[in-house]
Amino acid sequence: MSYLLGVLIFVIALLVSIMLHELGHLVTAKSFGMKATKFFIGFGNTIWSRRRGETEYGIKALPLGGFVDITGMSNLDHVDPADEPRTFRSKPAWQRSVVLLAGSFMHFVIGFVLLFAILAAFGNQNTSVIALDKCVPVKKTQVNCPASAPRSPSALAGLHSGDKITAVDGTPVATWNELTTQISRHRGGTSVAFTIERDGRQFTRHITLAKLSWRNGGFLGVEPTPFVRVGLVTAVGDAGQQFGQVVVGSAEGLARLPGEIPKLFSPNRAKSGGGVTSVLGVSEATGQVVSASGVGWQEKAAFVLFVVASVNIFVGLFNLLPFLPLDGGKLVVVIFEGLRSAFARLRRRPDPGPVDMQKLIPLSVGFLFVFVCLGVLLIAADIFNPIQLQ
């Protein structure tokens, strides 16, 4: 039941995010006097709808997205001449740009607010403040420390839970990700200088890392502190920093995608590089964490919120890619039309008008074909070769 609850929470959060995305388009369009006739969540047959003013609001049978029907989005739309002044295409380029950007903006707002909520309510998990592993594990799945297990390098060096590692071999670290990255760059058996902050003072320990047969880098024997409490002002700054990290990670993930496709069905998929996943895979991971034993509710809640935040930031960025029919592709068309009109005015020539979208249909169909094929491939990988969280 807890697994299904995790999946359900993610699905509901995704639907709410879609609704807010479309609401961004709707509110900005109406604020500029554009006519919006429909606001629906889902596709297919209508389950429920209600008309308020000139707009019909409703829910459809297939919860696979949503849409706002703004009159006159392109020259392909046939519009009553009386409504032409209120069409999308008749408005200034900057207003059309705002409407198109509003969807991604809502995703970014959702992502930032959720990151801030995690930090304000629970604290910061991604810090270099450590908890101690007192022994060196003899096998990968070991949980407890048997009496016969050798002491970990961190315990031998006299580190304490609550210590903050600020540098590894002279390289500053401020987050858990940076700390583990720096440790993994040193082999087991090598001596590494760690700068430690404890009770307001700093000191350095030269620690020889342990060797683990299943790990490339050395083993220090530290774990992240579950949560480090932060103030509201600090939470805002940390949320902005984490937002930037998710943006960079999303961009790197998109860049790696072509190379990772062949690895989607390889054994130990996540370790071999095929770690990209579909919405199905993300919901599966959410269910795994919510149903996991030995994990506190704070960690579970923080994970779910972080996943929803990350997905929103990724979707916001993906939606801005310059391909039709994404908002980013439509934005490129609007910018092109604006620049073409500006040059025509400078040359004292008639405004060439909107781009003929009929000519761009093959580009839209081509992108949709690639997108659908990729989606089917990722979903198949998530069904037949799912990523298992450790």
d(CA 73, CA 67): 13
d(CA 350, CA 96): 21
**Element housing 288 (H / E):** helix 279-290
- Give yes or no for a contact between 211 and 194, defined as CB atoms under 8 angstroms apart: no
Task: Name the token pair of 240.
Answer: 């902005």
Point out the catalytic residue in the list 22, 197, 284, 299: 22
> Of 222, 131, 214, nearest to 168 (Cα)?
222
- Give the CA diameter of the chain: 87
Q: Residue 310 contacts by C-beta under 8 Å, 6 or more apart in sequence?
A: 111, 246, 249, 250
Instruction: Concatenate the DSSP letters of all residues of 95-161 into one string.
Output: HHHHHHHHHHHHHHHHHHHHHHHHHHHT-BSSSSBEEE--B--SSTT--S--TTSPBPHHHHTT--T
**Element housing 37 (H / E):** strand 36-52
Q: Rounded to 10 degrees, what is the CA torsion of 328, 333, 337, 339? A: 50
Task: Name the token pair of 324.
Answer: 């039709």
b/e 296-332 (16+ beta carbons within 10 angstroms → b):
eeebbbbbbbbbbbbbbbbbbbbbbeebbbbbbbbbb
337 is catalytic: no
d(CA 238, CA 93): 35
Burial category of 387 from C-beta neighbours within 10 Å (exposed 0-12, middle 13-18, buried 19 and up): buried
d(CA 126, CA 174): 8
Active-site residue list: 22
